[in-house]
Copies of this chain bind each other. A is one copy, B any other.
Amino acid sequence: MFVTMQPSCPKSQVAEAIQALRGHGLNPRLIQPGNQNVLGIVEEITAETAAKLSKQLKALPGVEEVCDFSKSWKLVSREFKNEPTTIPLGRVEVGSRDILVTAGPCAVESERGFMDIADKVASLGAGALRGGAFKPRTSPYSFRGLGEDGLAIMARAREKHGLPIITEVLEPEEVDLVAAYADVLQIGARNMQNFALLEKVGDTNRPVLLKRGLMSSLKELLLSAEYILARGNWQVMLCERGIRTFETETRNTLDLSAVPILKQYTHLPVVVDPSHAAGKRELVPSLAKAAVAAGADGILVEVHTSPDSALSDGRQSLTIDGFKSLMLDLKPVARAVGRTIPEAAS
């Protein structure tokens, strides 16, 4: 249940509402989105209690609205905040007319290798760099990334090109370390419901890229974002990256319906990762163009100078030439739907 106070109500009225809730053994949390005071009741309450409470609270001075969030009310929702949330990232304002193109290898494998890729994708117009320093791996025996060394390498690439870097964080204990280097904290698909991790990134002031779980409904994705917003961090980008289905031609099935649906429900930006979904580089350009046409605010693509010798996900990485022609093809599609891919100042 949420209690929304009138914008101008004095603190004493907020306190009174809190007292009323405490009188029922509840422990409301005060959330302050925009310029409003909202009291969130975290405890589960019966429909009966809810009805009684609602009546009592509406009678108090300063109370604007009481709503049962079990329906649809959420910090992430359009009902709560209708204007789109935009996130400034380098030269791109994510969530505005701008389209963010993030490129880079699956994993940072070496300084030379990463710098080489960064040089190329930067010169071809990428708006941000991606790369993995901490890699989640299905098998305990797979390459798990360079760790902090990888972060430092990415940071040097940022210095060189002035491009923000996006990298994954795997566990709560690593959040501070990763946040010290990265511009955007990525929560991977496997961790979409790692609630401790969500709350920890919610406590930082870094934008978060939240990937949809392989098995997760769009409602669950929104509720995971809600975990982050509820801690005070509103800079969350949602990322569609494919779901599991019976089809085996692709690694996962890219669900582009997610774009218009999420846009309908939430004010948060929505980006698409066609590389992980497709699992095959030859499908990436079609899906990237489709994502932009569907209304996505950005795409993440994997690019590698020699994909076939990449330590992970080489099969789905574009070559430099592939990325070049994707950038050429993507611009007219962005224009066709009223969007722009911001170019580097020269």
Is there a chain B Cβ closer than 8 Å to A316's Cβ?
no
CB-CB under 8 A for A173 and B172, given A44-B311, A247-B243: yes
Q: Kindly list chain B residues whose C-beta atoms are within 8 Å of the C-beta of A291.
A: 290
Is there a chain B Cβ closer than 8 Å to A287's Cβ?
yes
Which of B140, B220, B294 interacts with A230 by CB under 8 Å?
B140
Is there a chain B Cβ closer than 8 Å to A132's Cβ?
no
User: Closest approach, in angstroms, between the C-beta of A302 and any C-beta of chain B?
Assistant: 16
- B337 close to A246 (CB less than 8 A): no
Per-position 1/0 for A127-146, Cβ under 8 A of B: 00000000011111111100
Which one of A6-14, A84-92, A160-168, A327-335 contacts B?
A: A327-335
Rounded to whole angstroms, the CA-CA distance of A247 and B287 in the bound complex is 20
- A250 close to B261 (CB less than 8 A): yes
Q: Kindly list chain B residues whose C-beta atoms are within 8 Å of the C-beta of A223.
A: 138-140
Rounded to whole angstroms, the CA-CA distance of A44 and B138 in the bound complex is 13
Rounded to whole angstroms, the CA-CA distance of A107 and B287 in the bound complex is 32
Is there a chain B Cβ closer than 8 Å to A206's Cβ?
no
Rounded to whole angstroms, the CA-CA distance of A218 and B250 in the bound complex is 10
Q: Kindly list chain B residues whose C-beta atoms are within 8 Å of the C-beta of A282.
A: 260, 264
- B249 close to A246 (CB less than 8 A): no
- B260 close to A283 (CB less than 8 A): yes
Is there a chain B Cβ closer than 8 Å to A295's Cβ?
yes
- A42 close to B141 (CB less than 8 A): yes
Is there a chain B Cβ closer than 8 Å to A204's Cβ?
no
- A256 close to B69 (CB less than 8 A): no
Is there a chain B Cβ closer than 8 Å to A244's Cβ?
yes
Q: Kindly list chain B residues whose C-beta atoms are within 8 Å of the C-beta of A213.
A: 215
Which of B139, B171, B329 interacts with A172 by CB under 8 Å?
B171
Of chain B, the residue at the smallest CB distance from A286 is B260
- A139 close to B226 (CB less than 8 A): yes
Interface positions of A (Cβ within 8 A of B): 40-44, 46, 69, 136-144, 170-173, 190-191, 193-197, 199, 213-220, 223-224, 226-227, 230, 243-250, 253-257, 259-261, 264, 277-278, 282-283, 285-287, 289-295, 309, 311-312, 329, 332-333, 335-337
List 26 contacting pairs A-B, 8 Å CB cutoff, sorted by A: A69-B141, A138-B224, A139-B223, A140-B223, A140-B226, A141-B226, A141-B230, A172-B173, A215-B216, A215-B246, A217-B246, A217-B247, A218-B247, A245-B245, A256-B290, A257-B283, A257-B287, A259-B286, A286-B294, A286-B295, A289-B293, A290-B290, A290-B291, A332-B336, A333-B333, A333-B336
Sorted nearest first, the 7 A-B pairs with minimum C-beta distance are A215-B215, A293-B293, A332-B336, A171-B196, A290-B294, A290-B290, A260-B286
